[in-house]
Copies of this chain bind each other. A is one copy, B any other.
Amino acid sequence: MNIGEVAERSHLPAKTIRYYEEIGLIKPPRDENGYRRFREEDAHSLRFLARARSLGFSIEDCRALLSLYHDRGRASADVRRIAQEHLTRIEAKIGALQSMQTTLRHLVETCHGDNRPGCPILDDLAGLE
């Protein structure tokens, strides 16, 4: 199948698929006219990648996971480690965002938001609490 079809099937933009080929995540053969010809195997890898990316794995994580998937004798311990580290990063990020959220919520609530002078948000940013 051509790139348009596999794009639709994997829910990835064609641009992204070309990019994944460029960085070596997939290696579809070419037809005589130069078009990429995607086999079922490629479509499968792309769906795998789309799912892993949607879970926030980095491209390098995806590369490792895909290779572990293609290796038979999949070393489940490696997969688990990658996922666990990723989970830890996600949790840290959530924590950081929640702390921003708390501060911002407070600031937005105390800002009257009209044209009277003085703004608690700017005062906070300026270090004038």
Contact = CB atoms under 8 A, between A and B. Distances in A.
Interface of A: 44, 47-48, 51-52, 55-56, 65, 68-69, 72-77, 79-81, 83-84, 86-87, 90-91, 93-94, 97-98, 100-101, 103-105, 107-108, 111-119, 121-122, 124-127
Contacts of A73: 117
Contact of A122 (B68, B105, B121): B68
A111 B125 contact: no
29 contacts: A44-B126, A48-B126, A51-B126, A55-B125, A56-B97, A56-B100, A65-B121, A65-B125, A69-B122, A69-B126, A73-B117, A74-B118, A74-B119, A76-B121, A77-B115, A79-B121, A80-B111, A80-B113, A81-B113, A83-B111, A86-B104, A87-B101, A87-B104, A87-B105, A90-B100, A90-B104, A94-B94, A94-B97, A97-B97
Given A56-B100, A90-B101, A101-B90, A76 B119 contact: yes
Copies of the protein in its oligomer? 2
Given A51-B124, A101-B87, A80 B108 contact: yes
Nearest to A111: B80
Contacts of A48: 125-127
